[in-house]
Structure 1
């Protein structure tokens, strides 16, 4: 699937020079007005040169500055400053969902699903709000009778990773790709032979460097709204897709149904007793 220009800008952010990162940050904050600028005006606003702008455009997969503006104009539809909260939240959610979809590669998701099914043990590592997403994924896969645990404590991650082997799988959640505790745990697990998967925002980070497969999600920074706090929506979307793909397996689907039916019957019994 063809990625948007903002997707390319985000994914390649860590490949940019410091000046190119400043240009990228300016574009994210002023994407609605960039289409009215020529290359010299953008260079002046970012205190750079036209040649730097041209190199920047090529790094984010654009043939020229004109190509960059054309592609950006298709995406610069952020609600105006006087939009109400409902409109802003709707825009942000739509942007996150659409961008996550654009970043998905079917083959990567199918490979991850097969790895989960083949693994003796699946460990999901996440800190803070990513830890909550890890727990959510654990509970889903437990219902399918997949041996899985979610670790949300940094010391427990190290202990867990030290006991893994070539039959096991680690999934590390980190939006930045720079979370030291997640990186250290995946490094130890990989050293012991475990397969490593990351769900993250950026390419070419310490986390993606040690991952066998990386699934990418859009960063909230590109939305230009520092007040928005749901950093997990894209990760949950990815986990939803993985869950649905796993349920295409008839045996996993049957086990999930058995689990849910058993829980339902238990709730009915408890209500009768009360």
Structure 2
């Protein structure tokens, strides 16, 4: 029901509806459109637009299809993160997402250097990505210092794979700007395809997970989608280069 193409087509308010639905699936089946709108802090018009983008004629059809969708799911342990992760993998199990991965591979394959960039948790994943890509035969390094100086034209035939959950971290945006200035191609992996980083990138892949903050500051959004995306790109990159 929720595929990557339809989720990617949602605007910010509609994503609020989607995130509420995914996190409160047991409640939503019994909610009126007004109750859902109030709970998601949007208007009923936004809920109706969301339903349309999920290929439903209206809210009544959405509730019926959503009930069937839940009945077809394998029962999962009562852990709040499981439903989001399961929904993510269901949303990418289609040719549209495969095409996006193939596009990412083509952006990366011809470059002499691959530099993974991120800060905090994304920096740690950048380190993992660099090692994984090196393991499959594409030597890479990483930058996890958001103040790292980018001041040389050595990046002309390179691609920076920039990881950021929000796509709005000022230091990461500054690094992205410096990479662009020195003619380095940018591939970004974010949770939001309308973020500033996504707009700056030559190519962006979004995994559309709601951000989870502790104390309004510490980002603990699941990074399972990022690990999966890095690994599938790396494996396809190895096959792509091997066929050349």
- What residue number does 1:187 align with? 177
Provide the secondary structure at the position in 2 that maps to 1:115: helix
- What residue number does 1:4 align with? 2
Which structure has the greater CA radius of gyration?
Answer: 1
Q: 1 CA distance for matches of 2:5 and 2:97?
A: 13
| Shift in Å, 1:246 | 2.1
Provide the secondary structure at the position in 1 that maps to 2:205: strand
Q: How many residues end up aligned between the 2 structures?
A: 235
Q: Give the one of 235, 248, 253 matched to 2:239.
A: 248
- Comparing both structures, which one devotes a greater share of its residues to helix? 1
Provide the secondary structure at the position in 2 that maps to 1:127: coil
- What residue number does 2:158 align with? 168
Q: 1 CA distance for matches of 2:50 and 2:84?
A: 26
- What residue number does 1:73 align with? 67
Aligned partners of 1:10 and 1:201 also within 8 Å? no
Trace 1:32-181 onto structure 2 (pairs within 5 A): 32-43=26-37, 50-58=44-52, 62-76=56-70, 93-101=85-93, 105-156=97-148, 159-160=149-150, 163-181=153-171
- What residue number does 2:226 align with? 235
Provide the secondary structure at the position in 2 that maps to 1:214: strand
Aligned partners of 1:186 and 1:210 also within 8 Å? yes
Aligned partners of 1:196 and 1:211 also within 8 Å? yes
Q: 2 CA distance for matches of 1:49 and 1:108?
A: 32
| Shift in Å, 1:141 | 2.3
- What residue number does 1:198 align with? 188
Provide the secondary structure at the position in 2 that maps to 1:215: strand
Aligned partners of 2:22 and 2:83 also within 8 Å? no
| Shift in Å, 1:200 | 1.1
Provide the secondary structure at the position in 1 that maps to 2:189: strand
Q: 2 CA distance for matches of 1:49 and 1:128?
A: 35
Question: How large is the Cα RMSD of the aligned pairs?
Answer: 3.7
Q: 2 CA distance for matches of 1:31 and 1:127?
A: 33
Higher relative contact order (CA 8 A, sep 6+): 1
The alpha-carbon distance between structure 1 residues 106 and 5, as it changes in their structure 2 partners (threshold 3 A), is closer
Larger displacement relative to structure 2 (202-211 or 174-183): 174-183
Larger displacement relative to structure 2 (232-241 or 35-44): 35-44
Q: 2 CA distance for matches of 1:53 and 1:229?
A: 27
